[in-house]
Structure formats: structure tokens, C-alpha cells
Amino acid sequence: MLKRLAIANLAIIENLDVTFKEGFTVLTGETGAGKSLVIDSLSLLLGARASSELIRSGEERATIVGEFVLRSPQFEAIVRNLGIPFVDGDITIERTIGRSKNLIKANGVAITLADLSKIGKYLADIHNQFDFEKILNPENYMGIIDGLAYETTATYKKDYADLLSEYKTRKADYEAIIEKKRKLDANRDFYLYQYEELKAADLRDGEEAEIDSEVSFLKNYDAIFSLSQESRQIIDEGFLDRLYDLNKLLAKLATYQKEYQKIHDELDERYYEIDDALSTLKKDFDNIDYDPSRLNGLEQRESDLSSLKRKYGKSVAELIAYRDELASSLDEKSDFEGEIATKKKVMDEAFKAAYLKGEDLSKVRRRIAKSIERELERSMSDLLLKAKFQVAFAPLPEKADESLREDGIDRVDFLIETNIGEGLKSLSKVISGGEASRIMLAFKALFIKANKISTVIFDEIDTGISGETAQAVARKIREISLSSQVIAITHMPQVASLSDHHILISKEVKGERTYAHMKELTLDEKIHQIAYLISGGKITEKQLEYAQEMVLEKKD
């Protein structure tokens, strides 16, 4: 639940600090007094994007702090995975909105907006008058069903998604071999020509490096020969013998000064390594040979390889692999049909596994749908809607492959009959705005109950209703507050009268600046405020008496 909300320098709010309690709290006030800013602040604490335009004029930053308490093993696991300290279910979210930089903290630890969104969906649920658009869009229906029993459907959906991914992989393999065979059949003569050309080229892996080395030698023969002769002269002059003599002297020095022993040992070890290296060099120098005709052949080979690489758009290594692939494909003994049959079998098995898991998920959803139908019809009756409701599962398509969708094998529609005798029709096509508000509230009540939502914020859900309907909506919100903390912004006296706590939001102008205020009302102040809501202006004694009657006759 939300325990405390503190707002500083947000639009007309300079500094507000409000404590919230369990049960049902209403917020009332004139239009423009700042009620929407409270909702905006709560939205920011739950993960909404921030805008610097919200910062109060003349200030550099706005700050919103929310203190929540939530005891849930699932929530605790998420919080701890994010590295956020968590004790006794308490978590404080702080958002700072700056002109150039924003900051989000959870229990003092800086987090990202994405992290806040993960946390926020557990802390509270904000419901406003525009949420009915969700139930008027059939694309949302499957998500609504799954959301009403998330813990039940999540495992099935995960297993189905894994098997669907496996099927897609196997299907891609099957389609690839089919396409490969089709291309081979259509272009056999062309592929045969390519194979013969590449085979005649006698390509060898690493050949280019060998050619580069040999061409470099032939093109630079004069310099190489000259340097080799100079090197040979140095070797023949016996500098290694001088190194040997030096090391003998170091051995004698070491008998007098021990520090020379280490240098002597190192030179002794290197002497034989150098001797071996010089022997190799002399052999290499003796074998230096120049063949001018060889250079022409190598340059021609380089040109031929470059031409092939440009023609095929492949490296020599890739050309070798392509040649071998062509040889395998063109082989009369190549068992394309057998490979196709094998891949099709694997694909069909993967499809069956995914489809069966989809059927398991569908069975779960159909059970959830039946409970939704019962609960919604009861809840709509409470809201003075004598309606029949049905979750209709569409028949599967004729092409089995089309039945595997990302979210399962089901397609659903919500059907409703709000006028007796008219028959069930698609909710998205027949419902009116006023009915949609009540239906959405019925859905919300079911969702809150199923998912044990700790805090629910209703933002003027009662807009557009009055009289007996408003009273029914008020009772339903009151019913929800018996299991969850409810905070509701309202203009309706029927809703306000059933609250446990009543906060008035007002504003005043001082020194050419506007300031918003929040105040929890006493019983007498609450009665006066409800009378004001009834009258919409000047309050009469009768309206005060009626307001008192509404408040004092509140039934739990």
C-alpha cells in the first residue's frame, strides 16, 4: 500500500506531504486544483516518463517521493535482483526531474526507468476513464484473460514459446533444403559450369599467402641477395668465436666477482641457440635462387585468383567451400529426398509438440474464461448492468500452421448482451461509453481480486454517470477497498460519501503565484464537502442534512 506521498516543485504544487491509510480514500477538489498532478506524480513513481515541463516555474528541479509497503515473495525477489536493499516490505521511490538530468532512486539506490517499471507494476495500479479503450480493442483480450490468472498461465506460455521457437527453427531448416533443391533443379547446368570452373582452378587453401611471399622474393631479389651476402660475410668473420672468447673471460671474472656468473650462464645458453640460427641462415643463403620466368607465372596466378574472387564475390577459402558444396549437391547419389523427408519429420514433430502445449494453454484459458463470465455477470449486476457476457473462442484455421500464434493457438472475442433479446454481440461494436466505464470497473474488480493488487488508484472513473448508477459504482469501489487500498479522485457525492478518508485538494493565489494544498477532512468538513458536491455551488440546510445522512448511513 501507499503510505506517504511527498511532492515538491511540481507545477502549482510547491510542497505537499500527505499520509495515506488503508481502506478507501477519496480526493476531491475544483477543476485545476491539482488532482491530475497527484495522478501524474503517482504515475511517475510507477514508471511513467518524465518531462521537464512539469517543473514549477523558477525552480531547477521537481521531486516526488512515495513510501510503499508490500510483502510479496515475488516482488522481494525482483527488488533484490536489482540490488535494492529491502527490509520489512518497505520501499521508497524517489524521482527527481531536472532541467537537464533526471534521477530515480529506490531505497537510496539509483535505478533505471526500465527497472522502475518492473517494480511499479507491483506497487499500484492506476485506472482512469480512458481505460475502457482497452476492452474495446480485441487485440487486448488475450492479455486480459492471461492477466487475470498470470501465475497460472505464465508457465504454460513459457513452455509454449520455447516449443514454438523450436518449431520455427525446424521449419526454417526444412524450407531451406526445399529451396536448395528447387534452385539446384532449376539451375543444374549453371551450377555444373561453376563447379567445373572452380575444379579446373585447382584452388588450395593458403595459396595466396604463398604466392605473395614468393612474388615479394622475386621482385626484390637483388636487395635480398645483397643483404644475404653482407650477412654471410659477418658470419664468416667469426663474430661468434669472439663471443665465445668473451664468455671464457667472464667465467674467469666470475671466480673473483660472483655477479658475473649470471651473465656468463646466460651467454653460454644463448651461444648454442645463436650457433644453430647461424647454421640455418647459411643454408638459406646457399639456396637463394632466381628464376625470372617463375615471376610471370605467379603474377598470372594472382590475376586468375583475383578474377575468380570478383566473379563469385567470395574469398579463396569460401570458393573452396562452395566448390565442395556444389560437388556434393551435383552428385547423382546426393539424397535430397531423404534429407527433405528427415527434416520434414523433425519439423512435424516440433509442430505437434508446440500445438499440444498450445492446447494445454487453451484449456487453462477456457477455464479462466468461464470464471470470468460468472464473475463479470455478477459484478455487472452489482453495477446495474443486466448483461450476459461470453468469452468466445474462435475455431482454429483450416491451415494447421496458421494456428501457432505468438501467444498461443487461441483467438478470442468478448461478446455481450446488454438489452434482453438482442443476442450476444461483439463488445467492441455495441457498447456505449457509460456502459464501458462500468464494464471496465467490473473487469478491474476481477483483475484486482485475481492478482491481489495492493493499491488501486481510480481517476474519475465515475465521469458521465449519475443517480442510481453512481451509487452502484460507489458501492463497487467500496467493495474493492475491503481487500485493497483504494485512492479515488471523484466529483460524485455518492462515491465520496462511502470513503473511509477524505482529502480535499485546493489552490490559492498569493503574490501572483498559484499554490496547491491538500488537507484530510474531519467528519464535519467531509459532510460539508459532500453537500458542496451535491449542490455544485451554494449549500442549503437540506443538502447538508442529506450529505450527513449519506455519510453516517455508510454500510461496510
Beta carbons within 10 angstroms of residue 320's beta carbon: 17
Cell of residue 132, nine digits: 475502457
User: Residue 184 pLDDT > 50, yes or no?
Assistant: yes
Please report the pLDDT score of residue 171 as a whole number. Answer: 94
Give domain status of residue 264, yes or no: yes
What's the mean pLDDT in 315-320?
91
pLDDT at 403 over 60: yes
Please, which pLDDT band fits residue 169 given cuts at 50, 70 and 90?
Answer: very high
Q: Which has more pLDDT, 450 or 495?
A: 495
Q: How many residues does the chain have?
A: 556
Residue 202 lies in a domain: yes
The whole-angstrom separation of Cα 332 and Cα 442 is 69
**Residue 548 DSSP SS3:** helix
pTM of the model: 0.65
Among the ranges given (75-84, 237-246, 474-483, 519-528), the one the predictor scored with the smallest mean pLDDT = 237-246
pLDDT value at 555 more than 60: no
All three cell numbers of 477, joined, read 469501489
Share in percent of the chain as helix, strand, coil (round to 5): 60, 15, 25
Confidence of residue 140 (pLDDT cuts 50, 70, 90): confident
The grid cell for 483 is 481487500
Residue of 545 and 452 predicted with greater confidence: 545
Report helix, strand or coil for 146: helix
In a domain, 267, yes or no: yes
Q: What value does the mean pLDDT of the chain take?
A: 86
C-alpha cell at 434: 457509460
Share of the chain above pLDDT 70, in %: 94
- The domain total for the chain is 1
Collect all residues with Cβ–Cβ distance below 8 Å to 48 and sequence separation of at least 6.
40
Look up residue 334 and give its three cell numbers: 546426393
Q: Any residues with CB less than 8 A from the CB of 65 and at least 6 apart, and which?
A: 4, 5, 6, 7, 92, 93, 94, 95
Q: Closest Cα partner for 10 from 68, 67, 50? A: 50
Q: Is the pLDDT of residue 396 over 80?
A: no
pLDDT at 556: 46
Please tell me the predicted confidence (pLDDT) of residue 443. Answer: 84
Which residue segment(s) compose the domain that 292 sits in? Answer: 183-330
Q: Is the pLDDT of residue 108 over 70?
A: yes
Nearest residue to 52 via CA among 66, 62, 43: 62
pLDDT of residue 228: 74
- 143-147, 180-184, 453-457, 460-464: which has the minimum mean pLDDT? 460-464
